[in-house]
Amino acid sequence: RQRVVVFISGGGSNMMSLLNATTDPSYPAEIVAVFSDKADAGGLAKAADRGIATFAFLRKDYDSKEAHEAAILAELERQAPDIICLAGYMRLLSGAFIGRYEGRILNIHPSLLPLFPGLHTHQRALDAGMRIAGCTVHYVTEGMDEGPIIAQAAVPVLPGDTADSLAARVLTVEHSTYPLALKLVAEGRVKMEDGRAVIEDPVAQ
Ligand code: GAR
């Protein structure tokens, strides 16, 4: 099974959805560790409860972004992940970091990219009068939320929606979309080539 390290900054519900998927022995990936840049991220305790190794390095404990990332990279050397999954990790990785794991870092973003990258995505979708919203799993490249798209799922925007109610609806499809996307990557059925996600034609199998 492919070794996965999950990066979180918060509650970690996406991390838990990945962890739950990996409990099926036929799933092609396993989570070997969870990293957070926040010591109090709720997801850290949830992962530890399930017997997963956790580590936290806080940005404020380092003089520079480079030093912070060096600490993370050193621990990653030990964990030897094949794939890194960002799951609510709210910090941009440097080009040097991404280059070290080129084509092997995934992220989930709660919008239908390329619409609404970055913060406040749900409010911006509502302000734009969108009638659908959704989530995107994509390869991480240097541009924020810009990498090649692996999988997406859509939900309706309903009358009376607030950013919170829309976020909650999108989150429910995040929890099925991320395990699906990770499965495709772990099985080698999708790859990043020349800046695009190349997905194997299921008919050609
Ligand atoms: C999720 O909605 C995820 O898509 C989003 O943060 C939430 C984390 O929830 N990520 C971003 O906004 C990344 N820029 P979780 O901690 O419960 O998985």
Backbone angles phi and psi of 193, in degrees to 5: -135, 125
Q: What is the pTM of this model?
A: 0.97
Q: What percentage of the chain exceeds 90 in pLDDT?
A: 96
ipTM for this model: 0.98
Q: What is the pLDDT of residue 51?
A: 97
- Binding site membership for (6R)-10-formyltetrahydrofolate: which residues? 65, 90-93, 107
Query: What integer is the mean pLDDT of 161-179?
Result: 98
**Rounded CA separation 72/63 (Å):** 14
Res 204 pLDDT > 80: no
CB of 104 shorter than 6 A to ligand 1: no
Ligand 1 contact via 117 beta carbon (within 6 Å)? no
The structure tokens listed for 199 are 């997905």
Which H helix or E strand runs over 84?
strand 83-86
Check: CB of residue 9 under 8 Å from CB of residue 37: yes
pLDDT (average), residues 39-52? 96
Phi, psi of 129 (to 5 degrees): 75, 25
**Atom in ligand 1 nearest the alpha carbon of residue 16:** 18
Q: What confidence score (pLDDT) does residue 203 get?
A: 65
What is the Rg, in whole angstroms, of the alpha carbon atoms belonging to the chain?
17
| Cα angle: 53, vertex 68, 139; to 5 degrees | 70
Q: Which ligand 1 atom lies nearest to the CA of residue 174?
A: 4
82-115: per-residue pLDDT in tens?
Answer: 999 999 999 999 999 999 999 999 999 999 999 9
Percentage of the residues of the chain whose pLDDT score is greater than 70: 98
pLDDT tens for each residue of 174-196: 999 999 999 999 999 999 999 89
Report pLDDT for 201. Answer: 76
- 10 pLDDT band, cuts 50/70/90, is very high
* Atom 17 of ligand 1, residue of closest alpha carbon: 13
Put residue 95 in one of left, alpha, beta given phi > 0 → left and psi -120 to 50 → alpha: alpha
